[in-house]
Structure 1
Amino acid sequence: MFTSGFSEGTANEVNIDGKPEIFEVLLEHVYTGKLTMSILTAYEILAMASYMQFTDALKICKEYIKRQVKRWSPTPDKIPIGDIYQISQLPICQGEFLAKRCEVFMCRHFKILKTSDVFLEAASEEFLKHFLELTDLAEEDTEKEVLELVVKWLKFDWDKRCTHAASLLGSVRLGLVPEEDLQELLDDDIRSIKECEQLLTEMQEGNKLGLSKFKLSGKMPQHFATRSTITAPVTFCGYFKAEEGGISTTTNSSFYYFDKRSKCWKDNLTYSFVHIGYLPSLIVVDEDLYAVGGLEQIAYDGYSMPMDNFCVYVPEQNEWKNLPSMKNPRSHVQVAHLDGFIYALGGLECNDLSSSVERFDLAKEEWQELASLPCGFHCVAATAYHGNIITYCKQFVDGPFSGVTGGCISVYSPDHNTWHVDKDKDKLGDDMPEPRLFQHEDQLYRVKYEKPEDQNSAKMYEGPSEYQPVVNKVRVERCEANDMTVSMGDEVSQDLIPANAVCAFRIEDDVFINTEGFVIKTDIKVDKDQSVNVDLQEWKAIALEEECGGIANFTFDPKKLQCIPDIDESEEDTDLSDGRSDTGLCEYDESLDSDMGSLDYMYFWG
């Protein structure tokens, strides 16, 4: 600008669009190589870096946003979701993976998007129509809410936007919106447009005819097409079948998901999981599904070798990717995520207990070995809670199948790489359902099961369970000398929960089910004094008949997953890895936006 013959080179004063404080951040980067940004400044820094053509700063900004956008939990006052829209529309992002990731982010947080004045003001009719045609909206986002977004966008500047009303309504699945909501949302202004009134008249005729007959008539099929992305518990299932010579092989392992509407598991995909392993543990981090460990598909004399495999399914790209293997091959490993690390705890090594603990650094893509589990402990549940990893461990007489002596909670401190074991032990039975740790509204709970005094209550349901739930709040407190105390808090009354086959329990008016060590929140709401019995019958199918690995709650598109390709051996290209020295790594600065609940970066580029 100043040396290439432009007018700015001889001008006494040069005006630069943008905020002075944003320009100051970029100027600091030019002189020091340090670029400080947060979730609230990322868009403005990216836009000004593009305007000023600061190439290195552009790469850092784009990489930061690409990695962090999946971790942000937006609220209208703290994370301006309108900025995400504007990032997706920047010319430098068009056609890139970053733009797609921003679109997915907006779909995932659709309820907040429609409250953003920035989005309502800036979004074009072309983009909004494209957005409405996406199938990535989450299952719980009803078509009524999609219609609400369209109406809000039109009303934001009705005089200029009214000509787009018919086109946009044509992209809404109006057949999925209850008639009373159509009447409420579509006012006289919208109905005064001839094409809109004609469309609504046809929908009203369809309602009179009946939904099923109207759909069969073939009229406006696009208005009855459900959006395909769902959020559901997922797992891998299968079993061994015996063959000659003491050799057994697994059946074709299948990817199953639990359809909450039909209350049954659906087999979505069947193929040989050579790369993934048999019955891996699962965890979802930043909307990607990670598969950890598992077993070889061939067993000799009843023993199958554990695997060290580690891979990830990225929904945006619809592909599996191999990641660096664990240092210790294991099956039935417990997994948890905390501060950018995936922890793998315990498990089985050739039918022997494993005390191994290691974690995977998602930024550096490498495993680190940590302090082992206390001797003789078998980890059956793990969760991240208030900066620590909380586990529930069983203790056995001699090995994993020799009889349970008890169970207790153990706490791992990442800051000190140490374990603290609760001195109070639970009495556990050999055949009881697995105890579980889970969080609900930032409170940690432990659920275990005991045989009821009245054995007749177990007769109410078909199934093997003869246990009633015992649910306690868990308190984890830090003491002097970096020690911790773990204690059981108030017991949550389960008087109105009979023994049942689905291991159900309640927290206030919500009913939960514990299956294969995974806690799922049901759609059952109960009053304070209401007994939960008949409704649980509908959930019996949650108990899997085949052996399964871990279960995780995952958002994905079943239609895409049916056509999933083999694992891609190559790693995703990133801007920070091509020809860069180690000084290109970032340092975390938690002080910038600590109240936001997320980490922000201070980058050093060299």
Structure 2
Amino acid sequence: MATIFTPGPALQSNSSEQNRFMEKLMAKILSFYDEQSLIDVTFKVSNPTAVVPAHRLILAAASPYFENLFRGEQGNNPVIEINDIDSDTLERLITFCYTGEAPITVNNVGAMLKAAIVLQLNDAINSCVDCIMKNINGYTLQAAYTLERETQCERLKQKLIEYEIKNFMEISRRVEFLSFDVEKLQRILESDNLNITREEDAYDAIKRWFNYDEPARQEQLPILIASLRLTQFDADFLLTHIQPLSGCELLAFKAISWIREPAARTKINIRFTEPRATCEKTLLALGSTEMNHNLLQYNKAEDKWQDYASLEIDYTYYCMILEDDNLIFIGGRKSGVSSKIVRSLNIRNKTWQNLPAMNQARCGHCVVELDGKIYAIGGLEGEEVLSSVERYTPSDGWESVSSLIVERHSAGAVTLNNKVYIMGGTNTPLRALKLVECYNPDSNIWTSCADMTECRVLPHVKVHKGHIYVLDTYSANRRQSVERYDPERNTWSKICCLNSDWARIAGMSLDNKLWLFGRLESDNVPSVSVYDEHNDRWVEKCSLHNVDGLFRCIVPVALVSMK
């Protein structure tokens, strides 16, 4: 006679008694299994041939597969053959049905996952996926992709997408990324948690994916472009990069209208208008006095700077660049000798790592990043002024590319429109330069551009809204000139002067504005200003009382949290 078990009041009110009862019950069941007592079913398995005894009731309770098997035609057979699972794997999973645990390793996880899916053991599937993700790295990722395709495991697929979202900058440069289907890539790009520091990173990844098979992906491109936060680009970028793409004209028009016509935004149907959670921008600066170096983070809400980390750096005249979540220090001078050293500081965990050294020692050089490659340009080796250029990729290390037309050090460099620009600097003690060169990585050629209006040594050069802005570090007359380069017209024009004896422009516009750091006239305290383009003037924002000395580098990051 069938009965329905309902826990009594005593067991409900005393969970410890219930737990002890369940522990005793499971211990007895396990002893039956270990002793092969009261066995009522045996599985005959090949590869290698073996028999695996078990209890029908336990297996049926643990898995819908076994429940349906035992209710079927061969359910009452004392011996049941299983041909699509090897004996070792089946025995481990039968044990899992009793204990909820199994010896899952990197070596057997593939077979275990496939068998767990066949046997409909969801908890075992979860354990297998957890093992895969716990041990995933650059070497095992390809195997994980292959296993996901073979098994069509939804949980593994979801966990891989979470991994790709979190490690998007690394994943987007792998060869496997180029074979992602459009649905998978769209799902990743739509995530608000996509781990990028700027929306341009997502655009660059789409372009790499698209260029891999342009004819086949032409119709899919608008789907991915629509997944971007288009309103986070400026109008010039949308006009230059998005509007020319086939099928993306309307997307660009809507985003430009949203940017330029705030009053009409409620009438514009555009999917994403807010920045991603990971792209909430902040500024990170490196301030120094002699050998004391401090990383500082700007708190926009409180309009002030906060200490983030203290660094030990025993050399000078190095260059820095932000690469994903690392500050990479390249070259420099120690004890009067130029250096090849390359070191990486992880911003998140504040740990150092040595990277492959450059081929040539350099100080006073320029460093830029373009399409996942880091370029070291010109500089000094001892007293020799360099024209040589080398670039770094994790796969190939440092390799030489075409040299500059004119050797130089103490110059400024940026990337714009998939090209590298270098300007100013000096190549003799008495000769300052206003020469500008442009490097095209596709042709590996440097070409001359229009000269700046003035010679500039140690200029600070930054890209903002499709133009290059340049100003000097120092000015003898306390009135610094700032000029702007238009790459389409190949022309330079001056904008308003700065009442400042030293300054530099931030590495990325914050809130779509150009930020400047300097010491304004009649004020000995460093401060932050923002360029008001409409009125052609600089507006002071805040002072930097906790920084004494020049900034070595100013970078925007979305990698650190406010303290």
Q: TM-score, normalised by structure 1?
A: 0.44
Structure with higher RCO (Cα < 8 A, 6+ apart): 1
The structure whose Rg is larger is 2
